Structure 1
């Protein structure tokens, strides 16, 4: 599996995408009051898992933990997703959690 880009690499490779990610996604969308950062992380982990975006999961697992989700809660979310997103997607997500 190819590693996801860190912010410095993204800035070097695609500066506009890095700028939009920071300004629109993290300084606007993630800071809206209707959902807590913890809830947004749970939704994000679910979407990445369902879409098979395992490359993005390690960073978002760490971010989810910083936003208050425990490893047990993340594991339970991936287990729950097996029945909605598919067994392979959930197992791939759990493999990313093991890397943490």
Structure 2
């Protein structure tokens, strides 16, 4: 199974990618005022689920909770997504949610 990377392990493995992620993605893109952090988290969860990027979901699920999304809202988003991205994508995403503490 692939290694789960977080901010620290990514920095050890690929320092430049970690730097770009921090500076460009989280330091610029996530800070733009046109969307709230909550809206950005919802979009990110939908994209990761639709694309089957389940390895990235646990971190973003926790981040979404810090950005104000409730567990019920996340479940509803993945349920809604089943009709647009497919049942397997939605169920796989929900499986990642189960890994998070209630």
TM-score w.r.t. structure 1 length? 0.97
Q: Which residue of 2 aligns with 1:47?
A: 47
Q: Deviations over 1:62-95 (max 9, x none)?
A: 0000000000000000000000000000000000
1:4 matched to 2:4: yes
TM-score w.r.t. structure 2 length? 0.95
Q: Which portions of structure 1, spanning 4 or more consecutive aligned residues, are displaced by more than 3 angstroms? A: none
Alpha-carbon distance between aligned partners in 2 of 1:53 and 1:5, rounded to the nearest angstrom: 13
Alpha-carbon distance between aligned partners in 2 of 1:87 and 1:66, rounded to the nearest angstrom: 27
Unaligned runs of 5+ in 2: none
Alpha-carbon distance between aligned partners in 2 of 1:28 and 1:4, rounded to the nearest angstrom: 24
1:95 matched to 2:99: no
Q: Which residue of 2 aligns with 1:27?
A: 27
